[in-house]
Amino acid sequence: MDISGLPESLRGRIAERMALPPIGKVRALLHGYVADAGNFDEIRAELRRTARTNDFHLRQYLDALDMILAEPQPPGTLLRLVEGDANWDIDDDQTDAGAAVFLREVATTLRSVIAEA
């Protein structure tokens, strides 16, 4: 994505987001698209609205999410992401393993939305 034609303020915000570590990008994804959603249909609808305009950040979010899920994380990290950052209650399995299942579903949803765009 060529951002050279954008105003400096926008270029700065894009650069800041791109410089976030993977966990920061996952948190941004969860805060922006998951925390206020009531179900995966709402998450998908919001992601689709964004993808219609530009999927650049969504691709970064997906890459970061894939990285977080592929690498071992400190104990409790995935659960905090889901229950804290995503504001999602996982009654069935309140462990990192249960949180990983949820995050994989988010990744699958995000992957399908990007493929549609």
Whole-number pLDDT of residue 33: 96
Check residue 87 and give left, alpha or beta (phi > 0: left; psi -120 to 50: alpha).
Answer: left
Measured distance CA(38)–CA(98) in Å, rounded: 18
The pTM (predicted TM-score) of the whole model is 0.86
On the question of pLDDT at 10 being above 90, the answer is no
Measured distance CA(93)–CA(81) in Å, rounded: 14
Segment 42-81, tens digit of pLDDT: 999 999 999 998 888 899 999 999 999 999 999 999 999 9
The structural domains of the chain, with segments of one domain joined by +, span 21-116
**Confidence band, pLDDT 50/70/90 cuts, at residue 14:** low
Measured distance CA(24)–CA(16) in Å, rounded: 11
Q: Which residue has the higher pLDDT, 18 or 80?
A: 80
Please say whether the beta carbons of 88 and 78 come within 8 A: no
Residue with tokens 């650069």: 15
